[in-house]
A and B are shown apart, each in its own frame.
Chain A
């Protein structure tokens, strides 16, 4: 029995949980390869043109492994907080995959996650999966418990300041190149965006590495405690309906408020519904807090050099601003027209 896990969407957030669970149940899992042009093209082929790129990528991942596995793991994420939900596309994801990917109709394994907290280890959610795979309830419970423990360890890594891609490497037992990356840079950026946009190196064109190369410290929403994010949007009369959007918004307000964060970058996918709302809100707040804010909108046509240029310009601007505030004044007219114009 082989179960395929598409390495897309919430894989980046819940993979340690799923992996431990299936390992404990002694079920072999097959991961799809990292996103490539081929996978994206497959995704485009089988999904509606208008839909956002993360869903297309996910579809592509499913297409790429569907023939090699007995089941694909597509959890139906409904909610991980009371009265809040996931984006409708997540809630309908198993249905979409079932009916759009050829050969998937009887191969979708979709536990229905309706939790009231980040903890998704309630055996109740997996009952359907249990009967399909023929697992004993005691076994499942044990596996879930262990999975939850592993996942909490993994979350702690994020909270310690590791970006998710590094945290995943540590979870897998790999050495990460530079352990002391956390506070090395001279600039700190709040990088806001869903895990599947930012950590999918093909979609985000490796923005994390690019920023690290520019000597920037990165802060993301998953490094914060839930209570912190909650507190910073406490003032809103009606909160958003989407858990992760609330987290992003909360993190956004929190980072705006932190004196050591110099600017915010919002990475969003073309056509992302929830982001169309929080993007506007964050943009409006940029003036209130007097902090630079930039939106990077990605889709399947994005060019890498474009991203590089924009990110560099943004960081250079912040660096200049910071230097000026520190008393290093630079005459705007007195810059070399050659080479590095960063104002340094």
Chain B
């Protein structure tokens, strides 16, 4: 089967999983203006931005010959859980005959999960499927670890762009991983690459740490959030995201008692502001901000698609949270009407504010 998937963050892990299961992975191209245009054209006008981009990705992947789409489901009440159904209808309406396998959380819909897995595994034995899953999971964890390292170093790299180059190289290295042995070698090799990036030493009190929180798709996919991490890195800020692929797997795919996910703890921290889970990542967003504040981060960038239902709730409560914690939060709503210059100005002004208030604080202490 020629299988495709939504483009979110690094597609390495999805492609790897599909290839290891013996299928052909047709990765959609990284979302571009064309992707967005296609998506906007075929999606409902007021659908949220991720749905439009993913719509465009699917169309492009189908043009490249994909036959089956796999995607994650959701359990509402956020619109994202209904993407699969909606995309399917629209694609059918456009005349594409395509199969969509929606992976709902295993905890919610065990039966269709197993059905989908059976369909994907083909004639592979359960044992080898288990091995493959374990391997791809490890890849996801390691790749994320490297990404986190790079997000820190990028702020201090001496020649601009060296971190991006290393990141590309690491993805290439991991593409060649097929066994556990390859994996440990890839790890060593990648670590060496990162260790060799020259960077300048910055005193602790000058360091700015920024957490990016919000809706998972716009947080993880750099092409729709105007390369937020790179932009912040180039302004000399360390960045940490609220969402990583491995973290998502931990929470949604691994049974509770094995999972090392901190999500429960994070949610607990958001409870004061949003009492119950209201879908999407609203409660986690609040929790992450409180968590980042406790870890000593200086500021938060809160990303959300325009009109995102759950994030609008968190945006409403944000002023109160800022008042309580004293952390600076900049909310940016993203959609197809991207004004890069406008947002750069906002971010620059925001960072000036953050730096100033940090200097003031430290001078007071001394």
**A interface residues (Cβ-Cβ under 8 A, vs B):** 47-48, 50-51, 76, 78, 84-89, 91-92, 94-96, 99-100, 112, 236-238, 240-242, 270-277, 279-281, 284
Contact = CB atoms under 8 A, between A and B. Distances in A.
Contacts of B137: none
A240 B200 CA distance: 53
Contacts of A242: 76-77
Contacts of B43: 280
A272 B317 CA distance: 19
Contacts of B307: 50, 271, 273, 276
Contacts of B310: 88, 92
23 contacts: A48-B315, A48-B316, A84-B76, A88-B309, A88-B313, A89-B309, A91-B278, A92-B278, A96-B317, A100-B320, A237-B85, A240-B76, A241-B78, A242-B77, A271-B307, A273-B48, A273-B307, A274-B79, A276-B48, A277-B47, A277-B79, A280-B43, A280-B86
Contacts of B73: 238
B47 A86 contact: no
Interface string B71-107: 0010111110110111001100100000000100000
Contact of A241 (B46, B81, B276, B315): B81
Nearest to B310: A88
Interface residues of B, number: 42
A92 B44 contact: no
Contacts of A240: 76, 82
B214 interface: no
Contacts of B287: none
Nearest to A93: B313
B53 to A, nearest CB: 15
Contact of A280 (B44, B81, B102): B44
Contacts, number: 117
Nearest to A242: B77
B279 interface: yes
B306 interface: yes
Contacts of A91: 77, 276, 278-279, 313
B275 interface: yes
Contacts of A237: 85
A99 B86 contact: no
Given A76-B276, A271-B307, A89 B312 contact: yes
Nearest to B73: A238
Nearest to A271: B307
Given A89-B313, A95-B317, A281 B89 contact: yes
Contacts of B86: 277, 280
A241 B86 CA distance: 13
A95 B274 contact: yes
A241 B76 contact: yes
A84 B76 CA distance: 8
Contacts of A241: 75-78, 81-82, 279
Given A88-B280, A271-B307, A276 B44 contact: yes
